[in-house]
Amino acid sequence: MKLIEHPDREALTLAVAQDIAESLGMALKTRERAVLCLPGGSTPVPVYKALAPAPLDWGRVVVVPGDERWVAPDHNRSNARLIRRNLIDEGAAAELVPLYTEGLGPDAGAAAASERVAPLLPLSVLLLGMGEDMHTASLFPGAAGLAAALDPSAPPVLAITAPAVPEPRVTLTLPALISATDALLMITGPEKRAALERAASLPVEDAPIRAFLKGLRVHYAK
């Protein structure tokens, strides 16, 4: 793990956007397409807006959410909606591959999403977020389905139910996520930094972010 500290959140935003753009550019030099996996949440939104005008061949970039609440794509809690509005609608003409499937429940939907995601693997660039509980994507400590999602033989996408979270979810599983050629984590605040440091000494079931620490570039600002 390499920790990169930034003086403020604006500097953090610009650095993460530049890091992603450079990694995508490198991927596009050696592959016909690059696959970018992105988190939801409010923290990365400024990064998406800063990344959108990057001079990349966006038509050769495929974007997939790292996880998704099982809600319609126009729902205000949809990660696909957040990515579309703040990256693609801002000018990055990439293809967005959603995890949600209309008319299916989470389990059947996860199987359908696995079929869409499998041909995209390995991921080119993975941006992760992390909660103070040390979850990442929808790999929550104590979640129903966590052990299956951490299994090295797991399919690319599985349904998972997080403790005390209202909507059912689907998530890219550990083998899909760690397939990424390049992986970054973006965190803010001393509480999350302390949680990340604590994760290094905990079992992965208690601190799922630990599974990604090897080789991870961590961008941090208070």
Q: What DSSP letter does each residue of 160-183 carry, written as one string?
A: EB-TT-SS-EEEE-HHHHTT-SEE
Q: Residue 32 domain-assigned?
A: yes
- Per-residue pLDDT at 163: 87
Q: Is 145 left (phi over 0), alpha (psi -120 to 50) or beta?
A: left
pLDDT at 20 over 80: yes
Q: In this prediction, what percent of the chain has a pLDDT beyond 70? A: 100
Q: Residue 114 domain-assigned?
A: no
pLDDT at 166 over 90: no
What average pLDDT score do residues 16-33 get? 98
Question: CA torsion sign, 203 to 209 to 212 to 214?
Answer: negative
- Identity of the amino acid at 5: E
Residue with tokens 């990424």: 180
- Identity of the amino acid at 182: D
- Per-residue pLDDT at 95: 98
What average pLDDT score do residues 198-203 get? 97
Q: Residue 38 domain-assigned?
A: yes
What average pLDDT score do residues 182-192 get? 98
CATH number of the domain where residue 43 is located = 3.40.50.1360
Cα 36 off chain centre by: 9
What average pLDDT score do residues 60-75 get? 96
CA gap 23, 27 in Å, rounded: 6
Q: Residue 161 domain-assigned?
A: no
Half-sphere exposure of 20 (CA within 13 A, CB side): 32
Q: Residue 170 domain-assigned?
A: no
Domain that holds residue 129: 2-105+124-137+183-221
What average pLDDT score do residues 50-73 get? 97
Domains of the chain: total: 1
Q: If pLDDT is split at 50, 70 and 90, which confidence band does 167 have?
A: confident
Kindly tell me the number of DSSP H helices and DSSP E strands found in the chain.
Answer: 7, 10
Cβ atoms 57, 27 nearer than 8 A:
no
Q: Residue 145 domain-assigned?
A: no
Q: Residue 16 domain-assigned?
A: yes
- Per-residue pLDDT at 9: 97
**Whole-number average pLDDT of the chain:** 97
- Per-residue pLDDT at 93: 96
Q: Residue 71 domain-assigned?
A: yes
Q: If pLDDT is split at 50, 70 and 90, which confidence band does 120 have?
A: very high
- Per-residue pLDDT at 136: 98
